[in-house]
Structures are given as structure tokens and as C-alpha cells.
């Protein structure tokens, strides 16, 4: 039931950036567990320092580290210098799902603020090229700053352009083997994790309500309840507005600006939300179709931080036949991951979903298209 949400701890995740860290992930874990930060480093609280001693490696994503819920790493020196990146566990899945090889040429279609772009650069060990598009100039500047911090400027070619306006058949894209498409979405999957900092007050409130409930059980004659039951929802929408500055946890202001409704998530979308989601899905489908047209494409990752099937399975379903005709098919990027796409069509079992309640991260969706039919010249 709803109460479960309150009990789900969301571990904080950080990604090790090998382009800056200069040591293995295991060595970073050891360092975090043992290092004593200089006293003059004011930005790191005792709580954060203690939390770092409990760091563990994510079982699925080898470069992702997990820290206790609520750990504030924003001012940690490794974050400041770019060797650790604040990024949610789920938003680290797409780059791994791409499995880019050093030396590949990749396109990131909707790239800003660049968390996935720099992750792909890291997985390519800084070798190769990523052409990163974003149509929003100010967000593109953030992408450039992200690339700078990550030590990936030499690999990333950032361009302010609408991805639908590029021509995949142009000679400059002839080598493109990998594509990341992480388009604007409703962001409905990040609602719960973005409330993390509200958890203490929500929990307090929940406890109060529980106590109140118990008292009411005992004193049934006093069953009168106050009308304050909506205040946490108000807190949520305030939070939505406050969070428009990205905190770098892989959630971007593009989604934060949107309105999120709790009812929509639980009981299906209301007419206004459905309209917005359909509008987004229309762009997502067009962008996906477009991105599948790069002639040398080997692997494409489509991802959203939405929980709505309209932006996820239905977008995949809309292009699948055309993709298959062009020699691609859905492949499973994380066979050990138990949670799959909604069973709306054959192949949906290859799709990956995460859930904020169940998996302690954002609600996310990942689909991978891979070339299965080889060129005539290679024979098949």
C-alpha cells in the first residue's frame, strides 16, 4: 500500500568517473572508507564523512557506489574535482546498456546536462567521439560544463541543434555506431526520489497520523479528524518548484518544470496530464524513428524517467516493426534484472523498468535496439 513508500530507503548513488579518478573503482571504495578529510574542508559534514565509511559497490553497475539514504555528497572533494558524479542508479543504466567500445562514434540525441554523455565517454575510456545534441542553448552550456568537469571535453562535440533537424545520412554521421536517446519526458518516475529530502518530515507526519489513528481506535468517541491531510501534497508541489535547479542526481530541470500529480501515478492520468504525456510521446516516437536511421548504427538505447506506458512501451511498440525491417531488434541489456516492460507486445520482456518503491532509485525505462542482421557483404 501507500505506506510502503515511507519505508523504502533510497540509497544515494555516486558514479566513479575513471577519466578523473585515476584509480580503480575498488580503490575509490577503499579511499572513501578510510580517508580523513582535512579539517579546513568545511563542505563535508561529520554525517557525510561517516556515511562514506559504509560505501558499497552496486551489484549491477560496476562503476556505481551506494551510500546510506540522505548522504549529502554535493560538497565532497571527489565530487568537486569530478572523480565522483552525483547520479541516480537508474540514470546510470542507459550508458551501460549501450555497451560502447573505446573508439566508437556515438550520438547523444538529447544530451544536456550531460550525465549520460559523460558516462558514455567514461565507458569508452575517453577514446572515440560523442556528438551531443541539445536544442536548448543554456542547457547545452551546462552540458559543456559537465564535460569539462568530467575530463571529457576532447571526446564530446556539443552542438546546439534540434535532433530532428539533423540528417542521419550525412557523411559526418557515417561512422555512428552507438546512440543514446534520452528525450524530454514527464519525469513521473522521479517524483518519489525527489521527495527524499522531505522524508523526515513526511515520516514525522506519518508517525503523527499513526499515533492519531491509534488514539482514535482507543477513544472511538473522539474520531473527529482535522482537515490537515493535504499539507504533504502541498509540500510536494513546492518541492517541485524548488528543485528546478538540477542537483546533478541525473534528474534535470527539463522534467522538474513539469507538474507531477500523485493521483496520475496511482490511478491513471487525468485529461490534462494525458494530453501532455501524448504530446511528449509524439516527440519521443519521432525522435526514436529518426535516431534509428544512422547507417552504421549497432546499438541504440532509448530511456526515460517516466513511469507511463505511453512514453515507454508504446513508443517502442510504435517503431518496432520498422526497426525490425531495418535489421534491428530489441535486446536485453541486463538479463539478471528481474523487472521488465509491461507485457504489451512480444519482445516487451527485453525491456527494463525500475521502480522507485521497489528498487530504491528513480522510476526508469530502458530499451535497447541492436543490429541483428549483418550487412550483405558480411553474409548471414
Active site residues per annotation: 305
- Report if residue 100 touches ligand SAM, rule: CB under 6 A: no
DSSP summary character for residue 223 = -
**CA–CA separation, 348 and 369 (whole Å):** 12
Site track for ligand SAM across 239-278, x = CB under 6 A: -----------x-x-x------------------------
DSSP summary character for residue 346 = T
Site track for ligand SAM across 139-158, x = CB under 6 A: x-------------------
CB proximity list for 232: less than 8 A, separation 6 or greater: 198, 201, 202, 205
**CA–CA separation, 221 and 346 (whole Å):** 56
> Using the rule CB under 6 A, which residue among 58, 63, 182, 362 binds ligand SAM?
182
# of chain residues touching ligand SAM (CB under 6 A): 22
- Report if residue 188 touches ligand SAM, rule: CB under 6 A: no
Q: How far is the CB of 119 from ligand SAM (least distance, A)?
A: 8
Between residues 24 and 282, which has the closer beta carbon with respect to ligand SAM?
Answer: 282
- Report if residue 163 touches ligand SAM, rule: CB under 6 A: yes
Q: How far is the CB of 253 from ligand SAM (least distance, A)?
A: 8
CA proximity to 361, closest of 10, 65, 14, 115? 10
Q: Is 182 annotated as a binding residue?
A: yes
> Using the rule CB under 6 A, which residue among 164, 202, 293, 318 binds ligand SAM?
164
Q: How far is the CB of 36 from ligand SAM (least distance, A)?
A: 33
Distances (CA, A) of 278 to 225, 274, 275: 39, 6, 5
The tally of CA atoms less than 13 A away on the side-chain side of residue 273 is 21
Residue with cell 525527489: 194
| Residues forming beta bridges with residue 20, ordered by sequence position | none
> Using the rule CB under 6 A, which residue among 112, 281, 330, 366 binds ligand SAM?
112
**CA–CA separation, 116 and 181 (whole Å):** 10
Q: Which of residues 328-367 bind ligand SAM (CB under 6 A)?
A: none
Site track for ligand SAM across 25-64, x = CB under 6 A: ----------------------------------------
For the chain, helix, strand, coil in percent to 5 are: 45, 15, 40
The helix/strand/coil state of 167 is: coil
**182 and 254 in contact (C-beta within 8 Å)?**
no
Q: Is 113 annotated as a binding residue?
A: yes
Residue numbers at the binding site for ligand SAM (CB under 6 A): 91, 110-116, 133-136, 139, 162-164, 182-184, 250, 252, 254
- Would you list which residues are annotated within the binding site for S-adenosyl-L-methionine? 110-116, 134, 162, 182
Amino acid at each position: 500500500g501507500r505506506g510502503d513508500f515511507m519505508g523504502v530507503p533510497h540509497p544515494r548513488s555516486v558514479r566513479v568517473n575513471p577519466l578523473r579518478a585515476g584509480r580503480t573503482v575498488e580503490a575509490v571504495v577503499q579511499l572513501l572508507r578510510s580517508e580523513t578529510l582535512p579539517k579546513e574542508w568545511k563542505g563535508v559534514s561529520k554525517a557525510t564523512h561517516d556515511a562514506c565509511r559504509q560505501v558499497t559497490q552496486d551489484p549491477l553497475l560496476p562503476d556505481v557506489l551506494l551510500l546510506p539514504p540522505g548522504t549529502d555528497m554535493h560538497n565532497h572533494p571527489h565530487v568537486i574535482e569530478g572523480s565522483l558524479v552525483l547520479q541516480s542508479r537508474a540514470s546510470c543504466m542507459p550508458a551501460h546498456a549501450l555497451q560502447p567500445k573505446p573508439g566508437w562514434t556515438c550520438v547523444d540525441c538529447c544530451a544536456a546536462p550531460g550525465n549520460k554523455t559523460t558516462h558514455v565517454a567514461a565507458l569508452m575510456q575517453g577514446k572515440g567521439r560523442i556528438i551531443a545534441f541539445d536544442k536548448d542553448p543554456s542547457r547545452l552550456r551546462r552540458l559543456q560544463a559537465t564535460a569539462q568537469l568530467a575530463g571529457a571535453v576532447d571526446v564530446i562535440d556539443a552542438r546546439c541543434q534540434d535532433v530532428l533537424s539533423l540528417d542521419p545520412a550525412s557523411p559526418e554521421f557515417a561512422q555512428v555506431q552507438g546512440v543514446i536517446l534520452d528525450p524530454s519526458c514527464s519525469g513521473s518516475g522521479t517524483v518519489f526520489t525527489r521527495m527524499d529530502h522531505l522524508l523526515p518530515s513526511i515520516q514525522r507526519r506519518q508517525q503523527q497520523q499513526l499515533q492519531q489513528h491509534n488514539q482514535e481506535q482507543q477513544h472511538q468517541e473522539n474520531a473527529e479528524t482535522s482537515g490537515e491531510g493535504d499539507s504533504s501534497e502541498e509540500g510536494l508541489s513546492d518541492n517541485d518548484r524548488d528543485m528546478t535547479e538540477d542537483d546533478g542526481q541525473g534528474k534535470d530541470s527539463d522534467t522538474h518544470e513539469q507538474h507531477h500529480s500523485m493521483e496520475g501515478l496511482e490511478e491513471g492520468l487525468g485529461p490534462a496530464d494525458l494530453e501532455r504525456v501524448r504530446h511528449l510521446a509524439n516527440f519521443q516516437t519521432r525522435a526514436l524513428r529518426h535516431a534509428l536511421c544512422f547507417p552504421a548504427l549497432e546499438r541504440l538505447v532509448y530511456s526515460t524517467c517516466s513511469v507511463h506506458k505511453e512514453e515507454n512501451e508504446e513508443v517502442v511498440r510504435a517503431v518496432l516493426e520498422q526497426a525490425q525491417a531495418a535489421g534491428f531488434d530489441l535486446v536485453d541489456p541486463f538479463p539478471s534484472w528481474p523487472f521488465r516492460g509491461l507485457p504489451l507486445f512480444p519482445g516487451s520482456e527485453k525491456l527494463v523498468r525500475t521502480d522507485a518503491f521497489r528498487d530504491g532509485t528513480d522510476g526508469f525505462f530502458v530499451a535497447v535496439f541492436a543490429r541483428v542482421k549483418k550487412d550483405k557483404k558480411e553474409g548471414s
